[in-house]
Amino acid sequence: MDLRFHQEVNIQAGNVTVQGELIIPKEASGIVIFSHGSGSSRFSIRNQKVAKYLHKKNMGTLLFDLLTIEEDKEYTNRFNIDLLTKRLAGATEWLERLSAAKDCRIGYFGASTGAASALKAASYLPQVKVVVSRGGRPDLAMNDLPKVEAPTLLIVGSLDYNVLQLNEAAFEKLKCEKKLEVVEGATHLFEEPGKMEIVSELAGKWFEKYLSHILVEK
């Protein structure tokens, strides 16, 4: 795969610097920023699996740590949606200033609590063109959901009963183009054989529709 950019990066987000990895295929017209769940990081095996799938579809990815090492030691920070949203917005603005990302559309992939920060950020950042949630907690951003304009895909495991109910309630609040995909036989982390592959395919199709092969107006 020919790459335009592949580098470990330091992202200035507010008054802190967080680490990430940015990969942009040579012909990419879109970049997906990952917002991971509580207790996770840019090294999330599940998110990296999705990222590798997106690279094959000619899409760029930015996986980064929403919290510093010190901040992550404070357990409550992992559920501070306002803080996580600010970090995600800061990373988005950082990416927009990068010459290698010029003319690329931006999408979000949020997992667990990271889905709430992705939707909350998308509610006030018009440059975010699409959102995908995997086993997410969109209910933690319930008041912001009606303001989200980016097409949104919610992916939930059929055996993740409580989270599925929360997603169904959140789905009703969304006013944008939207879809709820229930992966049969999957639990919260989609650890069952083949389930993360299904997640990757569903996310890939949704991102392709809104990020790939689309020329950004100059």
Q: Is 110 helix (H, G, I), strand (E, B) or coil?
A: strand
How many Å apart are CA 156 and CA 110, to the nearest integer? 12
51: CB partners within 8 A, 6+ apart: 23, 32, 34, 61, 63
Over residues 146-151, mean pLDDT: 98
Q: Tokens standing for 111?
A: 């997992």
> Mean pLDDT throughout 125-153?
97
**Which tokens is 124 given?**
């006030």
Query: What average pLDDT does range 196-201 have in this prediction?
Result: 98
Residue 180 pLDDT exceeds 50? yes
Q: Are 38 and 78 in contact (CB under 8 A)?
A: yes
> What pLDDT is recorded for position 176?
98
CB atoms inside a 10 Å sphere around CB 146: 12
Helices 113-122 and 81-96 pack at an angle, to 10 degrees, of 60
- Fold (CATH) for 3-211: Rossmann fold (3.40.50)
Residues 6+ apart with CB under 8 A from 28: 4, 58, 59, 60, 104
Q: Residue 111 contacts by C-beta under 8 Å, 6 or more apart in sequence? A: 34, 35, 36, 37, 40, 44, 46, 47, 133, 134, 135, 136
* Band (149; pLDDT cuts 50, 70, 90): very high
Give the mean pLDDT of the chain. 93
Element (H, E) at 35: strand 30-35
pLDDT for 2 beyond 60:
yes
> What pLDDT score does 215 carry?
41
Judge whether residue 177 has pLDDT over 80.
Answer: yes
pLDDT of 179: 98
- Matching residue, tokens 């919290």: 67
pLDDT band at 93, cuts 50/70/90?
A: very high
pLDDT computed for residue 37 by the predictor: 74
Taking only the tens place, the pLDDT of each residue in 40-50 is: 678 788 999 99
Examine the pLDDT at 217 and tell me if it is beyond 50: no
Q: Specify the length of the chain in residues.
A: 218
Q: With bands split at pLDDT 50, 70 and 90, how would you rate the model's confidence at 78?
A: confident
Least confident of 31-35, 154-158, 210-214: 210-214
Confidence band for 39, pLDDT divided at 50, 70 and 90: low
Domain layout of the chain by residue ranges:
3-211
